Amino acid sequence: QVQLVESGGDLVQPGGSLRLSCAASGFSFGRACMAWFRQVPGKEREGTAVIYTGRIDYTNYDRSVKGRFTISMDNAKNTVYLQMNSLKVEDTAMYYCAARIDGGCLPGIRLSDFDNWGQGTQVTVS
């Protein structure tokens, strides 16, 4: 009964900002590795950011978004966020929230490491 529900996608001009939210339920949020992926038609879904909050907190970003995007999570609200600044036309994509329920985050932000997905929220930069 894992559920991930994204929200916050919108149309925005280049250089603008958006904050995406992912509301999670049905699993132990504090033990999960959470990530944001994005996908455009005809291309593989790619990782943008990942976070794990525990005894040692961990975040990682894809080179394409590092310095512009920030991932965070609120354990009390079971919600993960993606703050996106300095948006580019190339950032246009469907953005998906993903969870690796147990075992922590593995190196990189790999599609195959995540078993649970939301339905996505569309971000259009134009």
Q: What is the pLDDT of residues 56-79, one digit of tens each?
A: 789 999 999 999 999 999 989 999
- Per-residue pLDDT at 115: 92
90 is written with which tokens?
């190339």
Q: CA dist 88 to 18, 32, 74, 91, 125, Å? A: 12, 30, 27, 5, 6
Q: Which amino acid makes up residue 43?
A: K
pLDDT digits (tens, 9 = 90+) for 73-105: 998 999 999 999 999 999 999 999 999 998 788
Contacts of residue 122, defined as CB under 8 A and 6 or more positions apart, other chains included, come to 9, 93, 94, 95
- Identify the bridge partners of residue 66 per DSSP, sorted by sequence position: 69
